[in-house]
């Protein structure tokens, strides 16, 4: 058998690549006892596979690099491929494609497609070296040899599901630059001044968040650790340290309410529990709106520009993805091959490409796998 390709990792990108390759061509090495651990729990167990709207602008990355890869295998081609394999993802939230019932629908397709590839489970890759035209892949159990190595080992998020820094170590050992990594699509912890957020744990409200010139609209969820929810997770992609600005009253004019006889907490389009906590913080009474003095109104308006510096993030243990990674300037977008070492490929999250919430990270994993397949099959 001509198993010339070793794929490091048994997650989303690895499984797509192994599914596309001709039979008996690849060996997948996965440190977990099972394949596809993240697909399994993703999207609340239903896996948000892709999105109706796709493009480089949905990624924190070099946009031209991402686009050239998406152009080869975009969401439409992915959906067609899935359909051919018997999966018809359903649209939720108008634009997000999910498995209809369970992410196992997708995992089962991959398992069927890779039946004729070799799969080594519970086997951790420790090192990759090269002698002549062949790579030596050292695991805890053996040394394997192959002409091509595809690093599909993902990022550092969710270490309990097998995440490790092996991809970055391999890349560095072959001279690649690693863009500083950090947890992303993750909640923020708060400093002393915002500890009162924790008393609101479980409440959520619609907000608009500004971070680093980017604006994210959506739900903010107060948690016992700080803040989370879609708008916060997306904003974590761009947060580096420093302040963020939250508008708790997006598209709402306090000025226009001046004559209202309603209590403040009844008037504001925020859950009462949240309004009351903020009123206490602002030193304001919950009274009929028209009774607010000009100064008090100004204080209330600060809810539309609530600026604070998060203490940090919830960390890799809670982050959906890792931003940063193998620098894309050193990888060929037409093949996914390293520009430093012939025969070495990088696909998926290990690269410095991070998508927003909404299925972008799986689409990236699958698109980059497809481009790699197109080159490596020959």
Ligand X SMILES: Cc1cc2nc3c(=O)[nH]c(=O)nc-3n(C[C@H](O)[C@H](O)[C@H](O)COP(=O)(O)OP(=O)(O)OC[C@H]3O[C@@H](n4cnc5c(N)ncnc54)[C@H](O)[C@@H]3O)c2cc1C
Q: Residue 377 CB, nearest distance to ligand X (Å)?
A: 19
Nearer to ligand X by Cβ, of 320 and 341: the residue is 320
Q: How far apart are CA 22 and CA 142, in angstroms?
A: 25
Nearer to ligand X by Cβ, of 114 and 350: the residue is 350
Nearer to ligand X by Cβ, of 42 and 208: the residue is 42
DSSP string, 185-243: S--EE--GGGGGGGGGTT-EEEEEEEETTEEEEEEEEE-SSEEESHHHHHHHTT--SS-
Nearer to ligand X by Cβ, of 141 and 262: the residue is 141
Q: How far apart are CA 217 and CA 170, in angstroms?
A: 38
Q: Residue 353 CB, nearest distance to ligand X (Å)?
A: 10
Element housing 361 (H / E)? helix 360-376
Name the segment binding ligand X (CB under 6 A); options: 29-37, 207-215, 245-253, 298-306: 29-37
Strands (E) located in 3-86: 5-8, 26-29, 48-51, 59-60
How many chain residues bind ligand X (CB under 6 A)? 39
Residue among 12, 107, 119, 264 that touches ligand X (CB under 6 A): 12
Nearer to ligand X by Cβ, of 154 and 226: the residue is 154
Name the segment binding ligand X (CB under 6 A); options: 6-14, 55-63, 78-86, 205-213: 6-14
**Hey, which residues between 41 and 100 contact ligand X (CB under 6 A)?**
41-43, 47-48
C-alpha dist (Å) from residue 114 to 20, 201, 277, 330, 349 = 8, 44, 54, 29, 21
Look up residue 373 and give its two tokens: 């397949």
Dihedral, 231, 237, 151, 166 alpha carbons, nearest 10: -110
x/- site string to ligand X, residues 103 to 142, per CB under 6 A?
---------------------xx-----------------
Name the segment binding ligand X (CB under 6 A); options: 32-40, 74-82, 271-279, 332-340: 32-40
Residue 230 touches ligand X, criterion: CB under 6 A = no
Look up residue 25 and give its two tokens: 């061509």
Q: Residue 250 CB, nearest distance to ligand X (Å)?
A: 25
Residue 8 touches ligand X, criterion: CB under 6 A = yes
Dihedral, 243, 245, 248, 253 alpha carbons, nearest 10: 150
Q: How far apart are CA 242 and CA 360, in angstroms?
A: 26
Q: Residue 68 CB, nearest distance to ligand X (Å)?
A: 18
Residue among 7, 21, 37, 171 that touches ligand X (CB under 6 A): 37
Nearest Cα neighbor of 246 from 266, 273, 222, 265 is: 222
Q: Residue 212 CB, nearest distance to ligand X (Å)?
A: 22
Look up residue 158 and give its two tokens: 């969710």
Q: How far apart are CA 106 and CA 93, in angstroms?
A: 20
x/- site string to ligand X, residues 146 to 185, per CB under 6 A?
------xxx--xx---xxx-x-------------------
Q: What is the separation of C-alpha 83 from the centre of its chain, rounded to a whole number of angstroms?
A: 24
Contact 323, 184 (CB under 8 A): yes
Residue among 20, 21, 27, 31 that touches ligand X (CB under 6 A): 31
Q: Residue 3 CB, nearest distance to ligand X (Å)?
A: 17
**Hey, which residues between 309 and 368 contact ligand X (CB under 6 A)?**
320-321, 348-350, 359-362, 365
Q: How many CB atoms lie within 10 A of CB 170?
A: 26
**Binding residues vs ligand X (CB under 6 A):** 8-14, 29-32, 37-38, 41-43, 47-48, 124-125, 152-154, 157-158, 162-164, 166, 320-321, 348-350, 359-362, 365
């Amino acid at each position: 058998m001509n198993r010339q390709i070793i794929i490091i990792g048994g997650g989303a990108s690895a499984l797509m690549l192994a599914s596309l390759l001709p039979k008996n061509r690849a060996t997948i090495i996965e440190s977990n006892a099972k394949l596809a651990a993240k697909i399994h729990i993703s999207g609340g167990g239903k896996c948000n596979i892709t999105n109706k709207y796709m493009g480089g602008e949905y990624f924190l990355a070099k946009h031209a690099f991402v686009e050239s890869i998406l152009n080869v295998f975009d969401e439409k081609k992915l959906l067609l491929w899935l359909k051919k394999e018997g999966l018809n993802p359903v649209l939720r939230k108008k634009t997000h494609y999910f498995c209809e019932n369970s992410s196992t629908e997708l995992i089962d397709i991959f398992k069927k497609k890779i039946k004729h590839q070799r799969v080594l489970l519970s086997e951790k890759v420790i090192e990759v070296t090269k002698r002549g035209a062949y790579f030596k892949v050292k695991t805890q159990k053996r040394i394997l040899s192959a002409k091509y190595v595809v690093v599909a080992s993902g990022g550092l998020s969710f270490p309990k599901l097998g995440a490790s820094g092996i991809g970055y170590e391999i890349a560095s050992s072959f001279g690649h630059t690693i863009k500083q990594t950090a947890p992303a699509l993750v909640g923020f912890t708060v400093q002393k001044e915002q500890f009162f957020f924790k008393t609101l744990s479980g409440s959520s409200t619609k907000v608009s968040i500004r971070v680093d010139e980017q604006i994210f609209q959506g739900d903010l969820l107060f948690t016992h650790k700080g803040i989370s929810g879609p708008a916060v997770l997306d904003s974590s992609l761009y947060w580096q340290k420093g302040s963020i600005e939250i508008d708790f009253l997006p598209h709402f004019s306090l000025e226009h309410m001046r004559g209202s006889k309603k209590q403040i907490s009844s008037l504001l389009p925020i859950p009462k529990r949240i309004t009351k906590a903020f009123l206490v913080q602002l030193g304001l009474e919950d009274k009929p709106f028209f009774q607010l003095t000009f100064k008090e109104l100004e204080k209330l308006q600060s809810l539309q520009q609530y600026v604070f510096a998060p203490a940090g993030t919830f960390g890799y243990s809670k982050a959906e993805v890792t931003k940063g990674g193998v620098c894309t300037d050193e990888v060929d977008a037409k093949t996914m091959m390293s520009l430093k070492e012939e025969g070495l490929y990088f696909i998926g999250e290990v690269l410095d490409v991070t998508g927003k919430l909404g299925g972008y990270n799986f689409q990236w994993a699958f698109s980059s796998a497809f481009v790699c397949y197109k080159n490596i099959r020959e």
